[in-house]
Structure 1
């Protein structure tokens, strides 16, 4: 299996911050995303971009967004996450 590290848009910090905002355990994120807990922990332990296969990164991002997280891109102030207002996508 090849790893596609290009265009992985979630950083390890964003993943950890998103879980903290949601008060979501690693185990629960693994359940919601279908990505192994080992892969999640490995990605969160990295620096900068979360080093993982693109499909896993997409699954995690989709699960976090579905739970109410909005990812904030680099916009001069750095990347981040925030809770989305209820009822907004």
Structure 2
């Protein structure tokens, strides 16, 4: 385990890494990913363990081509609904096209 104060360990059988998808434990300290370790790592005392089973843990996605209708047509889709829909699908950043 890294030598920092890990506050959260997020565990999944499907973690997306540069090497591919594998079972792993993602250790978070200070709001940042500190390490990606083997799935069965011993969770340090005081750290919260969240085991998401087979749910995929992956980096946030960036959508570089979004047409958010704000201003105008916000009753159909505005920033409020577009950003929530994006987040539900794993998108962390939207780049609105004019």
Band the TM-score falls in, shorter-chain normalisation: under 0.3
TM-score by length of 1: 0.24
TM-score when normalising by structure 2: 0.23
Q: Which has the higher strand share?
A: 2
Which structure carries more helix by proportion?
1
Pair member with larger Rg = 2
